[in-house]
Amino acid sequence: MAQQQHLRVVPDEPIDLIDTAGVPVLKRVLPVAAAVLAVALLVVLRRRRQR
């Protein structure tokens, strides 16, 4: 006799990764993005003063 495999039925709902991993990722990315933005702003302001 062949063995029967029991498959679990999963509903067709999307997985919300923002709720699952959004906050931890945001906590790590936000300081880096703020630092990059600050450096870019300083570079732009410095170039304007030199003109």
Sign of CA dihedral 37, 40, 46, 51: negative
CA 44/CA 41 separation, integer angstroms: 5
49 pLDDT higher than 70: yes
pLDDT value for 51: 73
Mean pLDDT of 5-13: 77
For the entire predicted model, the pTM comes to: 0.56
Query: Taking Cα atoms as reference points, which of 4, 7, 26, 5 lies closest to residue 17?
Result: 26
H helical segments located in the chain: 17-50
30-34 mean pLDDT: 96
